[in-house]
Amino acid sequence: MKVRNGIEVSNQSDIGCLRQNNEDSFGYWEPEDDQLFPRKGRLAVVADGMGGYEGGQEASRLAVETLIAVYRDFGGNDPQQALIEGLQTAHEQIRRYSFAHPELRGMGTTCTAAAIVKARNGDAQHDELYYVHVGDTRLYLIRDGQITRVTRDHSYVGRLVEAGMISAEQAEHHPQRNILTAALGTNPDLIMDSPSQPEPLRPEDVLVICTDGLWGQMRDSEILDAIQDKSTEQAGRVLIELARERGGPDNITVEILRLH
């Protein structure tokens, strides 16, 4: 995994305490070619598969590998469009795979992908965040001691929160919080979140992409506390250990990117 100067990256995944296999997948990519780097930047992807032993693993693996490949080979200069095409292609690949393997019918996966690309403003340069998202894997931004959830959960409980029917606190313990309303590969139509404008980033910003095996076991403020004043590698270990201490009912995956 090539990582150029200017960022600190950690990818960590744990099977958890109750599962027999790990259905999460993750990836990080930068172009080998230095001339491509200004256009492509850095790409981080996390996916949480579902659909039984083999189906979930295959769905999340296909999502990560397909999205990275499409983003890598995209010919234009629009990172957001590259992400959209990557997610759409991954969705179609998973559906094709499930039709070819009837025993895996119903396989699917969440997927959150973030690209960090440099933008020029006169002589100055700053990083910008592009992302696509489906399901309940989350992307957080940590800045100046505050944590902000960038993505929204595509879940039944997420809809109840958005409609004002329950609070975010009630949602954390809701018995149906794991029911998704969107995922890759499950329905013919793909529902995704894709912002119309990139988010300007600042030095020392931290991005966290994690599956519900992590965020479902702790409050956002605890994620913030675990990351402050630690290396990304240390922070990832602390977060996974905390999720395991609280029962680790699901696979636990976290990707942490700190800009310098």
The string of DSSP letters for the chain reads ----TTEEEEEEEE-TTT-SS--EEEEEE--SSTTTHHHH-EEEEEEEEESHHHHHHHHHHHHHHHHHHHHHH--SS-HHHHHHHHHHHHHHHHHHHHHH-GGGTT-EE-EEEEEEEEEEETTEEEEEEEEEEESS-EEEEEETTEEEE-S---BHHHHHHHTTSS-HHHHHT-TTTT-BS--BSSSSSPP-B--SSPEE--TT-EEEEE-HHHHTTS-HHHHHHHHTTS-HHHHHHHHHHHHHHTT--S-EEEEEEEE-
Nearest-CA neighbor of 77 among 38, 35, 28? 38
List of residues 6+ apart from 3 with CB closer than 8 A: 9, 28, 30, 42
pLDDT confidence bin for 121, thresholds 50/70/90: confident
> Tell me: the pLDDT tens digits for 60-119?
999 999 999 999 999 999 999 999 999 999 999 999 999 999 999 899 999 999 999 999
- pLDDT at 19 exceeding the cut of 90: yes
Which pLDDT belongs to residue 87?
98
Q: How many domains does the chain have?
A: 1
- pLDDT at 16 exceeding the cut of 90: yes
**The two three-digit tokens of residue 19, written as one number:** 């599962």
Place of tokens 């930047």: 41
> Tell me: the pLDDT tens digits for 41-71?
999 999 999 987 789 999 999 999 999 999 9
Query: Is residue 235 included in any domain, yes or no?
Result: yes
**The two three-digit tokens of residue 137, written as one number:** 């894997």
Query: Is residue 16 included in any domain, yes or no?
Result: yes
Which pLDDT belongs to residue 122?
72
Query: Is residue 1 included in any domain, yes or no?
Result: no
As a whole number of angstroms, the distance between CA 37 and CA 48 comes to 28
- pLDDT at 223 exceeding the cut of 90: yes
Query: Is residue 23 included in any domain, yes or no?
Result: yes
Which pLDDT belongs to residue 208?
98
Question: Which domain does 75 fall in, by range?
Answer: 7-259
Domain of 65, CATH number, reads 3.60.40.10
Query: Is residue 2 included in any domain, yes or no?
Result: no
Q: What percent of the chain has pLDDT over 70?
A: 100
Which pLDDT belongs to residue 231?
97
What value does the mean pLDDT of the chain take? 96
- pLDDT at 123 exceeding the cut of 90: no
For the full predicted model, state whether its pTM sits above 0.75.
yes
Residue 3 CB neighbours (<10 A): 12
- pLDDT at 30 exceeding the cut of 80: yes
> Tell me: the pLDDT tens digits for 157-200?
999 999 999 998 898 889 898 899 999 999 999 999 999 999 99
Instruction: Indicate the residue type of 175.
Output: P
As a whole number of angstroms, the distance between CA 204 and CA 89 comes to 33
Find out whether 157 and 181 touch, Cβ atoms under 8 Å.
no
